[in-house]
Structure 1
Amino acid sequence: MSNPNSNFPLTLKQCRVIREIMKKGTEKEASSSLNLSQSSVSRALSQAEQALQVDIFTRGWSGAEPTSAGEVVISSCNSILQAISDTERQLQSNVTTLLKLKTYVEWRHLLIIEAVVKVGSASVAAQTLGMTQPAVSKTLKEIENMVQQPLFSRARRGLIPQTAAKQLASLFLRISPVAQSLQQSLQSLPNELTGRLSVGMLSFSCQDIVPIAFASIFKQHSGIRLQAMQGPYHMLANALRQGEIDCFLGLMRKGPIHPELIELPLLPAQYALIARADHPIHNDAKTLNDLVNERWIVARHGTPIRDYFESLFHSIDNKPPIQALEMLTFASSEELVIHSDAIALLFYDDWNINKLTPRLKQIPIPLPKPECTIGITLHRERQSTIIQTFIEELKLTIIDKLKTQ
């Protein structure tokens, strides 16, 4: 048997690499943790994906993220490597020298020692495995160096396995079925949508409809990994361009900043001035000029809502207030309005403005051209069935939401 590892879809080194990439998030960090070159780690991952004919990781917001198939592979790798660690811990109790089993052991080591334990002879084991006796003896010596204790004692009737050899043979019998059944486990994945759906959300946008759409997808397609994260426009746009996310939602601009991105409208909305319900501004203010000296809660610079905020004051020949508090989330902005004398410029779709909490109230001052649109930004060349499914779920969520007005 020229290559004992050929009986297994993954080498144990590949298992270690896959687990470490999952733990550390990048191949670079995994290579440092494993004390391997980054090229060696990349090669091991590539060979594992070729052997299994699946993508194990995809590039994500925070680094390498497992695909649905990758989750199955990682689960198997974790089971195998945990069993090896447990065995090493048992063997460590017999010696004071630090063992190296979990770092260096490969299938050939365990396969050979199980065969020798079974037949009680290195020469017979060599014949059974299609190897030479010197190759078997050399491998046994390698294992002894890893566990720092004798594996066999010699007797007239052959080799008598010691405790360490029995534990290693038992280890092989436990983990080899896990490895050998991996490809079958991958082939038996449900015939449904699988993969990752990673959605970005601009500040102040879509926090109510995305979770509902996610819940519906999760019920129908358990093989999809769902992710949502919040961030500013330029960060999400770059993440989308680099494939770290699949799309992002928020107020539409006058066009995306990158030609490879496209925007699709989803839901009409409008800008609104909001204050706490008992704020005297509701009775005292009649025009925008009456709001010049108020304290404001607004979105950050570079956002459509901030541009609209500044245009309001330019429209009445006033400079925008300098002392404005920037908030990153819709919920925190509303909560701050409730607990302060500040007023906020926010935007709402028809449903949300009608369901405004009783502790808040819209200031009755008409705004010039308050209409805006919530939309989804996509990569022009990276459309997928998963993304289209998400868009359809968003549209259904919006329809159901508007029915309850």
Structure 2
Amino acid sequence: MNIDTRIKFRHLVCFLEVARQGTLARAADKLAVSQPAISKTLKELEELLGATLFERSKTGVALTDAGVAFMRYAGPCVQALRDGVNSLRSGEHESGAVRLGVLSTVESLLVPEVVRRLHERHPALVASVVTGPSAYLLSQLHVGELDLVVGRMTDSPQIQGLTFEHLYSESMTLVVRAGHPLLAVAQAQQLLQDYPLVLPLAGTTIRKYADALFVQCGIAQPRQRLETLSLTLSRRYVQSSDAVWIAPFDAVQLDLANGDLAELQLGIKEPGGSVGICSNAALPLSLAAHWSVEVLREVGQAYREGRFP
């Protein structure tokens, strides 16, 4: 079916602004037009599409199921056109910026490779990376301060209303420095309580998996603990002490391969959580964000197939 040529750019811009603002009045102010003009444009679009896009109430408007479905296409369409116009006007056809929220699960391995490939293909791309707990990053995604959030976050309540795409599964593992006393012990889990423990912050998605691993092993957590999401701090502390680190496998995979850290074999493997991409379907993705999604899928597939790292 051919696109109805009666659907104009102004229809799409009006639709997106009303969805973003939640009221016709605020959308009219934002677009510097009258409220009746907004209502007329929306009515035209709904008639052309043969669908009701918004539910009206005294407090404002909310997207219908049809509106949410249309948003997924209208948003990227308008943003891509704007990006194209801006790139031509600036003379930088490969320019762009993407704002990524990155959880600690993917900070060491996945994201550096994704950014490397993006810069290889788009020389003028600016990638802004923000790290932190999933609750904070997802809240920023909800309000449009981030384009994407990458990591293990499916258990976070803040994911409600967002779209999650699975990339691969990643397990937790227990690691220690090379030469650690526990490496020479057959039943290491019986002595774990005698050593400091490094684990993620309480309340985070990844902490739930760390706690589950200890439950599976029937081990009580030692009183002496370092709780942090900082991979740099965790790695340095474990390498310079007898601490045991419950770490996402991605975070320590290269350290294990290089012999800088060693894995404690407890006979039980944490099944792994889903690492993926979270986006906000209510907001249009920029062209640079689309590039990022493509590369994230590409590297994620390589990880699943054992071609990366």
TM-score bracket, shorter-length normalisation: 0.5 to 0.7
TM-score for both structures, normalised by structure 2: 0.62
Name the counterpart of 2:206. Answer: 305
**Partner of residue 122, structure 1:** none
Change in Cα spacing, 1:248 to 1:186, as seen in structure 2 (3 Å) is closer
1:216 aligns with 2:120: no
Structure 2 matches for 1:35-184, cutoff 5 A?
none
Conserved? CA contact 2:134–2:153, under 8 Å: no
CA contact (8 A) 2:98 2:127 kept: yes
- Deviations along 1:210-255, one digit per CA (max 9) or x if unpaired, are 2332233334334543211111111101111111111111223336
Larger Rg, first or second structure (1 or 2): 1
Question: What is the CA distance between 1:325 and its match in structure 2?
Answer: 0.3
Residue identity over aligned pairs, in percent, reads 22
Please list the CA deviations of residues 361-380 of structure 1 after superposition, one character each: whole Å capped at 9, or x if unmatched. Answer: 00111224332232121113
- Does residue 332 in structure 1 map to residue 236 in structure 2? no
Moved over 6 A (4+): none
Counterpart AA for 2:102: M
Q: Pick from 189, 200, 204 the counterpart of residue 90 of structure 2.
A: 189
Structure 1 residue matching 2:158: 3-state secondary structure:
coil
For the residues of structure 1 that align with 2:175 and 2:112, how far apart are their CA atoms?
25
Conserved? CA contact 1:272–1:345, under 8 Å? yes
Residues 1:344 and 2:252 are matched in the alignment: no
Query: What letter corresponds to residue 396 of structure 1 in structure 2?
Result: E
Other structure's SS at 1:257 match: helix
Could you report, residue by residue, the CA deviation over 1:337-369 in whole angstroms, capped at 9, with x for unpaired residues?
110010100011499268533121001112243
Match of 1:397 in 2: 299
What corresponds to 1:386 in structure 2? 288
Give the aligned residue type for 2:99. Answer: S
> Unaligned stretches of 5+ in structure 1?
1-42, 48-66, 68-183
- Structure 2 residue runs without a partner (length 5+): 1-28, 33-78, 80-84
Give the paired residue count. Answer: 228
Cα offset for 1:197?
0.7
Structure with higher RCO (Cα < 8 A, 6+ apart) = 2
Q: Which residue identity is paired with 1:209?
A: L
Aligned to 1:150: none
In structure 2, do the counterparts of structure 1 residues 295 and 271 end up closer, same or farther at CA, with 3 Å as the change threshold?
same
1:232 aligns with 2:133: yes
Q: Contact 2:189/2:219 (CA < 8 Å) preserved in 1?
A: no
Q: Which residue of 1 aligns with 2:150?
A: 249
Report the counterpart of residue 377 of structure 1 in structure 2.
278
CA distance in 2, matches of 1:200, 1:345: 22
Q: Equivalent residue of 1:334, what SS? A: helix
- Post-superposition shift, 1:299? 0.9
Question: What TM-score do you get using the length of structure 1 for normalisation?
Answer: 0.49
Does the CA contact (< 8 Å) of 1:255 and 1:263 recur in 2?
no
